[in-house]
């Protein structure tokens, strides 16, 4: 499988959101990555359901919704209903992970668990067989435009091993600080999906930037 690219809308121009979504829709990007932040689980507020619903109408590409919110269990039904295709919750944000994964498993959509840089990979071991995706953070969740944490490479190797040992089919997504200086190494170590915000949207040519990560 060739690497998938999921541009993060967080770095788009919100005054021209439909224009930017149209560019992505017509591009070789595979998924739309949508960062929902609540100002509690992370110290930043981004956007919520109305924006996700609006973007749903602008593309048929999969919506990869990354919930950086506390008690995500309260909002799972809603995010399924408004058209998420992959719903990812943080392992650090809930004590109800089993309930959340059961609920997503009963729906038509795919499940993901996101893990922050300081959380041991071993915390995933009870869930790794049940999920479709791990979102391995390359930065501390909360803001776009941060520098990639180099230790993520070692964590990726550890995660890949865990997936192998547990015979899991979970895909690995890398989120935060991804650009054309680390994409090749991430791919060679086994990443399946790369999320990129600033690198894509700050570039003078969005299409070229997406292609350069492929």
Q: Which residues are catalytic?
A: 35, 175
Toward ligand DX5, which CB reaches closer, 104 or 195? Answer: 195
Q: Which stretch binds Zn ion (CB under 5 A): 33-41, 54-62, 120-128, 180-188?
A: 33-41
Told to check if 64 binds Zn ion by CB under 5 A, we report no
Tokens 């200086």 correspond to 181
Toward Zn ion, which CB reaches closer, 20 or 35? Answer: 35
What number of chain residues touch ligand DX5 (CB under 6 A)? 22
Told to check if 175 binds Zn ion by CB under 5 A, we report yes
Binder to ligand DX5 among 89, 97, 124, 139 (CB under 6 A)?
139
Told to check if 20 binds Zn ion by CB under 5 A, we report no
Strands in 4-156 per DSSP E: 4-7, 32-37, 63-68, 86-90, 110-115, 133-137
Binding to ligand DX5 (CB under 6 A): which residues in 140-179?
141-146, 175-178
Beta-sheet pairing, 86-90 with 63-68: parallel
Toward ligand DX5, which CB reaches closer, 141 or 170? Answer: 141
Told to check if 20 binds ligand DX5 by CB under 6 A, we report no
Q: Which residues of 37-71 are buried (b: 16+ CB within 10 A; e: fewer)?
A: bbeebbeeebbbeebbeebbeebebbbbbbbbbee
Toward ligand DX5, which CB reaches closer, 37 or 76? Answer: 37
Told to check if 66 binds Zn ion by CB under 5 A, we report yes
Binding mask 107-146 for Zn ion (x = CB under 5 A): ----------------------------------------
Q: Which stretch binds ligand DX5 (CB under 6 A): 74-82, 139-147, 164-172, 182-190?
A: 139-147
The contacts found for 23-28 with CB under 8 angstroms, 24 or more apart, are: 23/206, 23/207, 24/59, 24/61, 24/206, 25/58, 25/59, 25/60, 25/61, 27/206, 27/207, 27/210, 28/207, 28/210, 28/211, 28/214
Tokens 């399946």 correspond to 192
Token reading at 93: 């944000």
- Neighbour count for residue 36 (Cβ, 10 Å): 25
Binding site for ligand DX5 (CB under 6 A): 8, 10-11, 33, 35, 66, 139, 141-146, 175-178, 195-199
Binding site for Zn ion (CB under 5 A): 35, 66, 175
């Amino acid at each position: 499988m060739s690497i998938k690219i999921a541009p993060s809308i967080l770095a788009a121009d919100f005054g021209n959101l439909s224009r930017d979504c149209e560019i992505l829709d017509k591009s070789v990007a595979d998924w739309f990555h949508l960062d929902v932040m609540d100002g509690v689980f992370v110290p930043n507020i981004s956007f919520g359901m109305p924006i996700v619903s609006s973007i749903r109408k602008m593309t048929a590409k999969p919506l990869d919704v990354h919930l950086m919110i506390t008690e995500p269990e309260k909002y799972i039904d809603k995010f399924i209903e408004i058209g998420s295709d992959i719903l990812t919750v943080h392992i650090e944000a809930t004590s109800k992970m089993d309930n959340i994964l059961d609920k997503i498993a009963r729906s038509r959509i795919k499940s993901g668990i996101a893990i922050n840089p300081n959380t041991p990979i071993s915390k995933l071991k009870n869930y790794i067989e049940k999920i479709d995706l791990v979102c391995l953070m390359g930065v501390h969740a909360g803001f776009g435009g941060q520098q990639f944490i180099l230790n993520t490479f070692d964590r990726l190797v550890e995660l890949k091993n865990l997936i192998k040992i547990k015979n899991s089919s979970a895909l690995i997504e890398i989120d935060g600080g991804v650009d054309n200086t680390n994409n090749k190494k991430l791919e060679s170590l086994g990443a399946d999906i790369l999320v990129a915000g600033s690198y894509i949207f700050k570039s003078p040519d969005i299409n070229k930037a997406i292609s350069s990560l492929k």
